[in-house]
Structure 1
Amino acid sequence: MSDTALTVVVLTEDALTTADVTHITSLHPDTEVTYRVLVPADTEHNVVSSVLDHLGMLELREAWSELVGREPSPEAATRSAGEQVVESVEALRATGATATGEVTQDDPLPALSAAVAAGGDEVVVVTYPHAVEDTFHTDWASRAREELHVPVLHLYAGTSELG
Protein backbone atom coordinates (compact mmCIF):
# COMPACT_ATOMS: atom_id res chain seq x y z
CA MET A 1 0.00 0.00 0.00
CA SER A 2 1.08 3.51 -0.71
CA ASP A 3 1.26 6.04 2.11
CA THR A 4 -0.99 8.39 0.19
CA ALA A 5 -4.73 7.99 0.72
CA LEU A 6 -7.17 9.23 -1.90
CA THR A 7 -10.81 10.16 -1.80
CA VAL A 8 -12.65 9.31 -5.01
CA VAL A 9 -16.10 10.77 -5.43
CA VAL A 10 -18.31 8.50 -7.54
CA LEU A 11 -21.33 10.13 -9.17
CA THR A 12 -23.69 7.57 -10.66
CA GLU A 13 -27.20 7.64 -12.06
CA ASP A 14 -27.92 4.04 -11.08
CA ALA A 15 -26.61 1.40 -8.71
CA LEU A 16 -23.05 0.39 -9.56
CA THR A 17 -22.74 -2.96 -11.28
CA THR A 18 -20.04 -5.52 -10.54
CA ALA A 19 -18.23 -4.37 -13.70
CA ASP A 20 -18.41 -0.73 -12.57
CA VAL A 21 -16.99 -1.57 -9.15
CA THR A 22 -14.20 -3.63 -10.73
CA HIS A 23 -13.23 -0.76 -13.05
CA ILE A 24 -13.41 1.88 -10.33
CA THR A 25 -11.44 -0.08 -7.73
CA SER A 26 -8.78 -1.07 -10.28
CA LEU A 27 -7.87 2.58 -10.92
CA HIS A 28 -5.67 2.76 -7.80
CA PRO A 29 -4.71 -0.81 -6.88
CA ASP A 30 -1.79 0.14 -4.61
CA THR A 31 -3.37 3.12 -2.87
CA GLU A 32 -5.71 3.38 0.07
CA VAL A 33 -8.91 4.84 -1.35
CA THR A 34 -12.08 6.05 0.29
CA TYR A 35 -15.09 6.19 -2.02
CA ARG A 36 -17.94 8.63 -1.61
CA VAL A 37 -20.94 7.68 -3.76
CA LEU A 38 -23.46 10.30 -4.89
CA VAL A 39 -26.75 9.39 -6.56
CA PRO A 40 -29.15 12.15 -7.59
CA ALA A 41 -32.87 11.81 -6.99
CA ASP A 42 -34.20 12.11 -10.55
CA THR A 43 -37.11 14.40 -9.69
CA GLU A 44 -36.91 16.54 -12.83
CA HIS A 45 -36.69 13.84 -15.48
CA ASN A 46 -36.23 15.39 -18.95
CA VAL A 47 -38.57 13.38 -21.17
CA VAL A 48 -37.50 15.00 -24.45
CA SER A 49 -33.83 14.33 -23.80
CA SER A 50 -34.55 10.75 -22.71
CA VAL A 51 -36.63 10.06 -25.83
CA LEU A 52 -33.86 11.44 -28.05
CA ASP A 53 -31.28 9.36 -26.19
CA HIS A 54 -33.31 6.19 -26.77
CA LEU A 55 -33.97 7.03 -30.42
CA GLY A 56 -30.26 7.72 -30.93
CA MET A 57 -29.51 4.24 -29.62
CA LEU A 58 -32.34 2.75 -31.76
CA GLU A 59 -34.22 1.80 -28.59
CA LEU A 60 -37.72 2.37 -29.94
CA ARG A 61 -39.60 0.54 -27.20
CA GLU A 62 -37.78 2.48 -24.48
CA ALA A 63 -38.46 5.78 -26.31
CA TRP A 64 -42.17 4.98 -26.43
CA SER A 65 -42.15 4.06 -22.74
CA GLU A 66 -40.62 7.44 -21.93
CA LEU A 67 -43.36 9.21 -23.88
CA VAL A 68 -46.24 7.44 -22.19
CA GLY A 69 -44.62 7.01 -18.78
CA ARG A 70 -44.90 9.35 -15.84
CA GLU A 71 -42.27 11.16 -13.90
CA PRO A 72 -41.70 9.66 -10.49
CA SER A 73 -42.90 11.60 -7.48
CA PRO A 74 -40.12 13.34 -5.55
CA GLU A 75 -40.59 10.81 -2.74
CA ALA A 76 -40.32 7.83 -5.12
CA ALA A 77 -37.28 9.33 -6.85
CA THR A 78 -35.54 9.92 -3.52
CA ARG A 79 -36.42 6.43 -2.30
CA SER A 80 -35.06 4.87 -5.51
CA ALA A 81 -31.85 6.91 -5.31
CA GLY A 82 -31.43 5.86 -1.67
CA GLU A 83 -31.67 2.20 -2.67
CA GLN A 84 -29.09 2.77 -5.40
CA VAL A 85 -26.73 4.42 -2.89
CA VAL A 86 -27.03 1.48 -0.48
CA GLU A 87 -26.48 -1.07 -3.25
CA SER A 88 -23.45 0.82 -4.62
CA VAL A 89 -21.84 1.32 -1.21
CA GLU A 90 -22.35 -2.36 -0.34
CA ALA A 91 -20.80 -3.40 -3.68
CA LEU A 92 -17.72 -1.26 -3.03
CA ARG A 93 -17.42 -2.48 0.57
CA ALA A 94 -17.65 -6.09 -0.65
CA THR A 95 -14.23 -5.53 -2.28
CA GLY A 96 -12.79 -4.41 1.05
CA ALA A 97 -12.99 -0.72 0.15
CA THR A 98 -14.10 2.04 2.47
CA ALA A 99 -17.24 3.67 1.08
CA THR A 100 -20.02 6.03 2.08
CA GLY A 101 -22.86 7.46 0.06
CA GLU A 102 -25.68 9.94 -0.12
CA VAL A 103 -28.59 11.06 -2.26
CA THR A 104 -28.23 14.46 -3.93
CA GLN A 105 -30.64 16.87 -5.54
CA ASP A 106 -31.62 16.32 -9.16
CA ASP A 107 -28.69 18.46 -10.30
CA PRO A 108 -25.76 16.74 -8.58
CA LEU A 109 -23.10 19.33 -9.41
CA PRO A 110 -23.50 21.38 -6.21
CA ALA A 111 -23.14 18.23 -4.08
CA LEU A 112 -20.25 17.05 -6.25
CA SER A 113 -18.54 20.41 -5.83
CA ALA A 114 -19.03 20.25 -2.05
CA ALA A 115 -17.63 16.70 -1.94
CA VAL A 116 -14.52 17.76 -3.85
CA ALA A 117 -14.13 20.84 -1.63
CA ALA A 118 -14.34 18.55 1.41
CA GLY A 119 -11.31 16.57 0.23
CA GLY A 120 -12.27 14.72 -2.95
CA ASP A 121 -9.16 14.09 -5.03
CA GLU A 122 -10.84 12.88 -8.19
CA VAL A 123 -14.24 12.10 -9.63
CA VAL A 124 -15.61 9.07 -11.44
CA VAL A 125 -18.91 9.63 -13.23
CA VAL A 126 -20.87 6.49 -14.16
CA THR A 127 -23.81 6.99 -16.53
CA TYR A 128 -25.60 5.36 -19.39
CA PRO A 129 -24.89 6.91 -22.80
CA HIS A 130 -26.89 10.10 -23.31
CA ALA A 131 -26.71 11.14 -26.96
CA VAL A 132 -27.82 14.73 -26.48
CA GLU A 133 -25.86 15.56 -23.33
CA ASP A 134 -22.71 13.71 -24.40
CA THR A 135 -22.71 15.32 -27.86
CA PHE A 136 -23.14 18.85 -26.57
CA HIS A 137 -20.91 18.32 -23.51
CA THR A 138 -23.68 19.15 -21.05
CA ASP A 139 -23.31 15.78 -19.32
CA TRP A 140 -22.25 15.56 -15.69
CA ALA A 141 -18.65 14.62 -16.48
CA SER A 142 -18.13 17.53 -18.88
CA ARG A 143 -19.68 19.97 -16.44
CA ALA A 144 -17.56 18.57 -13.59
CA ARG A 145 -14.35 18.94 -15.63
CA GLU A 146 -15.16 22.59 -16.34
CA GLU A 147 -16.16 23.50 -12.80
CA LEU A 148 -14.07 21.37 -10.43
CA HIS A 149 -10.56 21.26 -11.88
CA VAL A 150 -9.83 17.75 -10.57
CA PRO A 151 -9.37 14.59 -12.65
CA VAL A 152 -12.76 13.34 -13.91
CA LEU A 153 -13.26 9.93 -15.51
CA HIS A 154 -16.54 9.18 -17.28
CA LEU A 155 -17.48 5.50 -17.54
CA TYR A 156 -20.54 4.10 -19.24
CA ALA A 157 -22.44 1.93 -16.77
CA GLY A 158 -21.81 -1.79 -16.93
CA THR A 159 -19.09 -1.49 -19.58
CA SER A 160 -15.44 -0.60 -19.89
CA GLU A 161 -16.27 2.19 -22.34
CA LEU A 162 -15.23 5.71 -21.54
CA GLY A 163 -17.67 8.59 -22.01
Structure 2
Amino acid sequence: MTDTILVLTEDTLASADVAHIVSLHEGETLAYRVLVPADTERNLLVSLIDQLSLGELREALDTVRGREPEPRAARATAADQLAESLAAFEEAGRDAAGEVVSDDPLPALRAAIAQGPVREVVVVTYPHAVEDTFHRDWASRAREALDVPVLHLYSGTSELG
Protein backbone atom coordinates (compact mmCIF):
# COMPACT_ATOMS: atom_id res chain seq x y z
CA MET A 1 0.00 0.00 0.00
CA THR A 2 1.30 3.45 -0.96
CA ASP A 3 2.02 5.98 1.76
CA THR A 4 -0.09 9.13 1.69
CA ILE A 5 0.89 12.73 2.24
CA LEU A 6 -2.07 14.66 3.63
CA VAL A 7 -2.12 18.28 2.54
CA LEU A 8 -4.31 20.67 4.51
CA THR A 9 -4.68 24.10 2.91
CA GLU A 10 -6.75 27.18 3.58
CA ASP A 11 -6.58 28.41 -0.02
CA THR A 12 -5.78 27.22 -3.51
CA LEU A 13 -2.32 25.68 -3.69
CA ALA A 14 -0.07 27.59 -6.05
CA SER A 15 2.18 25.68 -8.44
CA ALA A 16 5.12 26.74 -6.25
CA ASP A 17 3.43 25.21 -3.19
CA VAL A 18 2.86 21.92 -5.00
CA ALA A 19 6.43 21.90 -6.35
CA HIS A 20 7.73 22.44 -2.81
CA ILE A 21 5.53 19.65 -1.39
CA VAL A 22 6.52 17.19 -4.14
CA SER A 23 10.22 18.03 -3.74
CA LEU A 24 10.09 16.90 -0.11
CA HIS A 25 10.01 13.27 -1.29
CA GLU A 26 11.75 13.40 -4.64
CA GLY A 27 11.83 10.07 -6.46
CA GLU A 28 9.26 8.37 -4.23
CA THR A 29 5.85 7.11 -5.24
CA LEU A 30 3.33 8.62 -2.87
CA ALA A 31 -0.36 9.38 -2.82
CA TYR A 32 -1.44 12.95 -2.13
CA ARG A 33 -4.73 13.81 -0.46
CA VAL A 34 -5.77 17.45 -0.22
CA LEU A 35 -8.18 18.69 2.45
CA VAL A 36 -9.73 22.16 2.15
CA PRO A 37 -11.90 23.36 5.04
CA ALA A 38 -15.01 25.37 4.21
CA ASP A 39 -14.50 28.65 6.06
CA THR A 40 -17.93 28.96 7.67
CA GLU A 41 -16.89 30.31 11.07
CA ARG A 42 -14.41 33.02 11.89
CA ASN A 43 -13.24 34.54 15.11
CA LEU A 44 -13.86 38.24 14.49
CA LEU A 45 -11.02 39.57 16.64
CA VAL A 46 -8.44 37.06 15.38
CA SER A 47 -9.39 37.69 11.74
CA LEU A 48 -9.20 41.45 12.25
CA ILE A 49 -5.73 41.30 13.85
CA ASP A 50 -4.44 38.97 11.11
CA GLN A 51 -5.77 41.22 8.35
CA LEU A 52 -4.41 44.41 9.89
CA SER A 53 -0.99 42.81 10.50
CA LEU A 54 -0.84 41.87 6.80
CA GLY A 55 -2.07 45.27 5.59
CA GLU A 56 -5.34 43.84 4.28
CA LEU A 57 -7.44 46.91 5.03
CA ARG A 58 -10.41 46.08 2.77
CA GLU A 59 -10.69 42.60 4.29
CA ALA A 60 -10.43 44.10 7.79
CA LEU A 61 -13.27 46.47 6.99
CA ASP A 62 -15.41 43.55 5.77
CA THR A 63 -14.62 41.70 8.99
CA VAL A 64 -15.68 44.67 11.12
CA ARG A 65 -18.89 44.92 9.11
CA GLY A 66 -19.58 41.26 9.92
CA ARG A 67 -19.47 39.93 6.39
CA GLU A 68 -19.14 36.26 7.20
CA PRO A 69 -19.31 33.79 4.35
CA GLU A 70 -22.58 31.92 4.15
CA PRO A 71 -22.13 28.14 4.53
CA ARG A 72 -23.19 27.34 0.96
CA ALA A 73 -20.86 30.00 -0.46
CA ALA A 74 -18.01 28.87 1.80
CA ARG A 75 -18.39 25.25 0.61
CA ALA A 76 -18.50 26.39 -3.04
CA THR A 77 -15.34 28.46 -2.56
CA ALA A 78 -13.60 25.53 -0.87
CA ALA A 79 -14.66 23.21 -3.71
CA ASP A 80 -13.15 25.62 -6.26
CA GLN A 81 -9.94 25.85 -4.22
CA LEU A 82 -9.79 22.06 -4.06
CA ALA A 83 -10.31 21.63 -7.81
CA GLU A 84 -7.59 24.15 -8.62
CA SER A 85 -5.22 22.55 -6.09
CA LEU A 86 -5.78 19.09 -7.58
CA ALA A 87 -5.11 20.57 -11.03
CA ALA A 88 -1.80 21.97 -9.73
CA PHE A 89 -0.78 18.47 -8.60
CA GLU A 90 -1.76 17.12 -12.03
CA GLU A 91 0.37 19.82 -13.71
CA ALA A 92 3.27 18.65 -11.51
CA GLY A 93 2.75 15.10 -12.79
CA ARG A 94 1.29 13.77 -9.55
CA ASP A 95 -2.07 12.23 -8.87
CA ALA A 96 -4.00 13.69 -5.98
CA ALA A 97 -7.43 13.25 -4.49
CA GLY A 98 -9.17 15.48 -2.03
CA GLU A 99 -12.24 16.70 -0.31
CA VAL A 100 -13.85 19.71 1.30
CA VAL A 101 -14.03 19.29 5.07
CA SER A 102 -15.65 21.14 7.94
CA ASP A 103 -14.28 24.39 9.32
CA ASP A 104 -12.29 22.55 12.01
CA PRO A 105 -10.07 20.19 10.01
CA LEU A 106 -8.73 18.13 12.96
CA PRO A 107 -11.50 15.48 12.82
CA ALA A 108 -10.96 15.07 9.07
CA LEU A 109 -7.20 14.67 9.60
CA ARG A 110 -7.78 12.03 12.27
CA ALA A 111 -10.21 10.14 10.00
CA ALA A 112 -7.79 10.24 7.05
CA ILE A 113 -4.95 8.93 9.20
CA ALA A 114 -7.17 6.10 10.47
CA GLN A 115 -7.95 5.06 6.86
CA GLY A 116 -4.46 4.15 5.84
CA PRO A 117 -0.77 4.71 5.91
CA VAL A 118 -0.18 8.47 6.22
CA ARG A 119 3.48 9.40 6.26
CA GLU A 120 3.00 13.06 7.16
CA VAL A 121 0.70 16.05 7.15
CA VAL A 122 1.67 19.20 5.27
CA VAL A 123 -0.27 22.28 6.36
CA VAL A 124 -0.19 25.21 3.92
CA THR A 125 -1.52 28.53 5.24
CA TYR A 126 -0.89 32.23 5.16
CA PRO A 127 0.76 33.69 8.26
CA HIS A 128 -1.72 34.23 11.10
CA ALA A 129 -0.33 36.54 13.76
CA VAL A 130 -2.48 35.41 16.68
CA GLU A 131 -2.79 31.69 15.96
CA ASP A 132 0.88 31.24 15.03
CA THR A 133 2.09 33.18 18.07
CA PHE A 134 -0.04 31.24 20.53
CA HIS A 135 0.33 27.89 18.72
CA ARG A 136 -3.40 27.60 18.00
CA ASP A 137 -2.86 27.34 14.25
CA TRP A 138 -3.83 24.16 12.41
CA ALA A 139 -0.27 22.84 12.29
CA SER A 140 0.35 23.29 16.02
CA ARG A 141 -2.98 21.71 16.89
CA ALA A 142 -2.27 18.80 14.52
CA ARG A 143 1.18 18.24 16.07
CA GLU A 144 -0.46 17.97 19.50
CA ALA A 145 -3.25 15.63 18.38
CA LEU A 146 -1.75 13.36 15.72
CA ASP A 147 0.93 10.70 15.77
CA VAL A 148 2.48 11.66 12.42
CA PRO A 149 4.96 14.38 11.49
CA VAL A 150 3.39 17.75 10.65
CA LEU A 151 5.11 20.33 8.44
CA HIS A 152 3.76 23.89 8.24
CA LEU A 153 4.48 25.87 5.08
CA TYR A 154 3.44 29.44 4.33
CA SER A 155 1.56 29.68 1.07
CA GLY A 156 3.49 30.95 -1.92
CA THR A 157 6.84 30.85 -0.13
CA SER A 158 9.43 28.34 0.98
CA GLU A 159 9.11 29.60 4.57
CA LEU A 160 8.26 27.18 7.32
CA GLY A 161 5.60 28.05 9.88
Return the match for 1:70 from 44, 67, 72.
67
Match for residue 146 of structure 1?
A: 144
Alpha-carbon RMSD across the aligned residues, in angstroms, is 1.4
Aligned to 1:124: 122
Letter paired with 1:92 = F
In structure 1, the partner of 2:52 is 55
Q: Specify the code of the residue in structure 1 equivalent to 2:133.
A: T
Q: Distance in 2 between matches of 1:158 and 1:95?
A: 16
Confirm or deny: 8 A CA contact 1:38 1:104 kept in the other structure. Answer: yes
Task: In structure 2, give the amino acid aligned to 1:68.
Answer: R
| Greater mean deviation of Cα atoms: 57-66 or 34-43 | 57-66
Q: Structure 1 residue 121: deviation in Å?
A: 1.6
Among candidates 98, 116, 120, match of residue 101 of structure 1: 98
Q: Does 1:87 align with 2:84?
A: yes
Residue 83 of structure 1 deviates from its aligned partner by 0.7
> Aligned partners of 1:140 and 1:14: how far apart in 2?
13
Residue 67 of structure 1 deviates from its aligned partner by 1.4
Residue 19 (structure 2) aligned to one of 18, 22, 29: 22
Normalising by structure 2, we get a TM-score of: 0.94
Aligned-partner residue type, residue 33 of structure 1 = L
Q: Which amino acid aligns with 1:137?
A: H
Shift in Å at residue 151 of structure 1?
0.8
Alignment partner, residue 161 of structure 1:
159
Residue 59 of structure 1 and its aligned partner are, at CA, apart by 3.7
Segment drifting more, 54-63 vs 24-33: 54-63
AA at the equivalent of 1:25: V
Quote the sequence identity (%).
62
The residue that corresponds to 1:33 in the other structure is: 30
The answer (yes or no) to whether the contact 1:7–1:121 under 8 Å persists in 2 is: yes
How many residues align structurally?
160
Unaligned runs of 5+ in 2: none
Distance 1:91 1:82 in 2: 14
Shift of 1:58: 4.0
Per-residue CA deviation, residues 54-112 of structure 1 (Å, 9 max, x unaligned), is 22334444322321251111000001001111110111011111200100001010001
Contact 1:41 1:105 in 2 (8 A): yes
